[in-house]
């Protein structure tokens, strides 16, 4: 399994049903409201009893929104991740499935949708499978990332902050060494970490990864001392913090690659046009603050 695949596997393993915020902070609720509105509008145009396939479905929130808007729709999702949060009621999920190699018969779906999904794969192979598994009058709706959008900008800033903590400060390695050499309550190590917590707050703010990660390390030391943990136990916590941080870096790297794929719009659309799926509509999506964060593309058979 690649680092990126492992990172997304770990991400979904940490999520509960319907509560993942993906690559955005939870406080950006207007983004999710805009996405939900876009899919509800799309649902209104589906034929009666439409069979819908969602590519890279994740927690299946798109299928959940479609089902709320249209109770008659049959909803199926696929995702490469080997495990996902429990599916919403009435949704069939197939895990460990690549969108480039779908396990479905020809002409089985009346619509294919994807939210921040197809651009993570290989568009030519995905387009072939979309064309194969859809009916002649099917609609394809894709919400894709934008390289000039707020989602990538937010995540690139987080990547800078994470690298500052992990690589520039060397905080985790230094803390492990100090804990190994000292005994609880590891006063020297805790004071050193607290200083980096303050640096991270001043440099990036108290909602930043530059503050969150050092603060998680500080709390691990304090709670470990209070619980009477051994140095090995605290080091295990630090290893988990580092693993989660590096997994986030891998996810951000894959996000940046997905933006590049979607931004190469001529090549991206040509992959679908090669299978007679042409762009019929597109619109930019903005949150309540006016920030561009995605684009919705609709395609139909020519």
Where are the chain's structural domains?
3-149+259-301, 150-254
Distance set, CA 185 to CA 179, 181, 228 (Å): 9, 12, 9
Distance set, CA 143 to CA 89, 103, 219, 264 (Å): 23, 23, 39, 15
Residue 3, pLDDT > 70, answer: no
Q: What is the per-residue pLDDT for 29?
A: 80
Terminal-residue alpha carbon distance, the chain: 38
Q: Encode pLDDT of 79-126 as tens digits.
A: 999 999 999 999 999 999 999 999 999 999 999 999 999 999 999 999
Q: What is the per-residue pLDDT for 238?
A: 96
Q: What is the mean pLDDT of the chain?
A: 93
Residue 17, pLDDT > 50, answer: no
Q: What is the per-residue pLDDT for 210?
A: 97
Q: Which residues contact 136 (CB under 8 A, 6 or more apart)?
A: 107, 301
Residue 24, pLDDT > 80, answer: no
Residue 46, pLDDT > 50, answer: yes
Residue 18, pLDDT > 60, answer: no
Residue 10: which pLDDT band, with cuts at 50, 70 and 90?
low
Distance set, CA 127 to CA 15, 20, 91, 297 (Å): 29, 27, 23, 14
Q: Encode pLDDT of 218-262 as tens digits.
A: 999 999 999 998 999 999 999 999 999 999 999 999 999 999 999
Q: What is the per-residue pLDDT for 26?
A: 61
| Short-list 167, 210, 250, 214, CA closest to 222 | 214
Residue 11: which pLDDT band, with cuts at 50, 70 and 90?
low
Count other C-beta atoms under 10 Å from residue 236's C-beta. Answer: 14
**Quick one: how far is CA 267 from the chain centroid?**
23
Query: Span 180-198, mean pLDDT?
Result: 95
Residue 28: which pLDDT band, with cuts at 50, 70 and 90?
confident
Q: How far is it, in rounded angstroms, from Cα 67 to Cα 147?
A: 30
Query: Span 167-190, mean pLDDT?
Result: 95
At the top level of CATH, which class does the domain 3-149+259-301 belong to? Answer: alpha beta
Q: What is the per-residue pLDDT for 252?
A: 96
Residue 288, pLDDT > 80, answer: yes
């Amino acid at each position: 399994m690649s680092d990126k695949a492992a990172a997304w596997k770990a991400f979904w393993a940490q999520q509960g049903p319907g509560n993942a915020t993906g690559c955005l902070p939870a406080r950006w609720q207007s983004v999710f409201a805009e996405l939900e509105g876009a899919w509800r509008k799309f649902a209104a145009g589906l034929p009666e009893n439409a069979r819908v396939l969602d590519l890279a479905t994740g927690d299946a929130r798109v299928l959940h929104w479609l089902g709320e808007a249209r109770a008659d729709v049959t909803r199926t999702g696929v995702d490469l991740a080997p495990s996902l949060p429990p599916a919403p009621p009435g949704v069939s999920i197939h895990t460990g499935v690549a969108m480039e190699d779908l396990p479905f018969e020809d002409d089985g779906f009346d619509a294919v949708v994807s939210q921040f999904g197809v651009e993570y794969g290989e568009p030519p192979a995905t387009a072939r499978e979309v064309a194969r598994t859809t009916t002649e009058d099917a609609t394809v709706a894709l919400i894709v990332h934008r390289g000039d959008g707020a989602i990538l900008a937010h995540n690139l800033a987080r990547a800078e902050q994470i690298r500052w903590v992990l690589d520039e400060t060397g905080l985790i390695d230094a803390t492990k060494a100090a804990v190994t050499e000292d005994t609880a309550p590891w006063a020297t190590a805790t004071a050193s970490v607290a200083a980096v917590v303050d640096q991270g707050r001043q440099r990036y703010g108290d909602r930043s990864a530059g503050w969150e990660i050092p603060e998680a390390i500080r709390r691990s030391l304090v709670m470990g001392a209070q619980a009477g943990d051994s140095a090995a136990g605290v080091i295990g916590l630090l290893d988990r913090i580092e693993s989660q941080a590096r997994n986030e870096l891998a996810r951000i790297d894959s996000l940046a690659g997905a933006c590049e794929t979607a931004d190469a719009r001529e090549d991206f659309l040509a992959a679908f046009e090669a299978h007679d799926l042409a762009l019929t509509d597109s619109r930019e999506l903005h949150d309540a603050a006016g920030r561009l964060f995605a684009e919705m593309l609709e395609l139909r058979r020519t």
